[in-house]
Amino acid sequence: MTLTLTPLPDIPLIFAGDDLPTIILGSLERLGLDLQEGDLLVIGQKIVSKAEGRLVNLVSVVPSNRAIELATETEKDPRMLELVLRESKSVLRTRPGTIIVEHRLGFICANAGIDHSNVAGEANDEEEWVLLLPENPDRSADCVRQRLEEASGVRLGVLIIDSHGRAWRMGTVGVAIGVAGLPALLDLRGHPDLFGYHLRITQVGVADELAAAASLVMGQAAEGTPIVHVRGFPYPLREASLGELLRPADQDLFR
């Protein structure tokens, strides 16, 4: 098996209303790369959020009493914490410098995925912008996929990824937050191993595996390569969603 990941060049800074499929197709054309059946596009969350206008100016945010309480616990800006509360189902853990929540999309993450880095608004000295996750990353991924499939005439998959920390391990890693046209979870239960033993438990988070690989190619700081083309994905494409990867609360031993 050969899996090829190619960062797309010349992706401009993205602003609200920008057409990501058109930008992707232009970059592919400049690269001389034609889309083929089974190809995938992995897209960094930030440019999707920016295109969808998910920037918020903290100057416009009025913190609630709960946000002010959490600001005392976490030593964070109460306006930021107000946005975290709006984007979350529940607060799971806090300590100075950290707040862990269950995001409204169902996964566990720090700060509800709200980001300060590589974010710029219509700048002046009185404005401070942050970026929320896409409203519905599965839908965002599917919209991009449909446009690219219409343009290319082949079946494709699209993944939207973000960087998350993990329980018991240091460091962030790329994970899927939006899935369209490729499996998120591969169920190997019942399949034989090398010695004929039938697997009973094994399920593989293939979307997260791909997200981590693409994240290495994208980089985490000032690289400016937020879109990666993938060829050679070893599993059949199918309809899927992020929900496949979310562990039900009654099976989560770490909350």
Question: What are the residue boundaries of the structural domains of the chain, listed by start?
Answer: 4-53+134-245, 55-131
Which helix H or strand E contains 70, and what residues bound it? helix 65-74
CA 103 to CA 118: how far, in whole Å? Answer: 22
Predicted confidence (pLDDT) at residue 193 exceeds the cutoff of 80: no
The reported pLDDT for the residue numbered 202 is 67
The mean predicted confidence, pLDDT, of the chain is 91
pLDDT at 77: 95
CA 13 → CA 18, 19, 218, 242, distances in Å? Answer: 10, 12, 15, 27
Number of alpha helices (DSSP H) and beta strands (DSSP E) in the chain: 6, 12
The Cα 62–Cα 84 span in angstroms is 13
pLDDT at residue 197, rounded to an integer: 67
Question: pTM of the prediction?
Answer: 0.91
User: b/e per residue, 160-175, with b = 16+ CB within 10 A?
Assistant: bbbbbeeeeeeeeebb
**From CA 193, how far away is CA 227, in angstroms rounded?**
35
* Helices 20-31 and 137-152, packing angle to 10 deg: 50
Q: Could you please state the CATH topology (level 3) that the domain comprising 55-131 is classified under.
A: CofE-like fold (3.90.1660)
Contact 175, 212 (CB under 8 A): yes
Read off the pLDDT band of 1 (50, 70, 90).
Answer: confident
Q: Which of 76, 59, 58 is nearest to 67 (CA)?
A: 76
- List beta partners, residue 166: 169
Q: What is the pLDDT of residues 99-158, one digit of tens each?
A: 999 999 999 999 999 987 556 655 555 679 999 999 999 999 999 999 999 999 999 999
pLDDT in tens, 210-244: 999 999 999 865 557 999 999 999 999 999 999 99
Q: Are 51 and 18 in contact (CB under 8 A)?
A: yes
pLDDT-derived band at 21, boundaries 50, 70, 90: very high
Beta bridge partners of 88: 103
Strand duo 227-231 + 40-44: pairing: antiparallel
Give the CATH class of 4-53+134-245. Answer: alpha beta
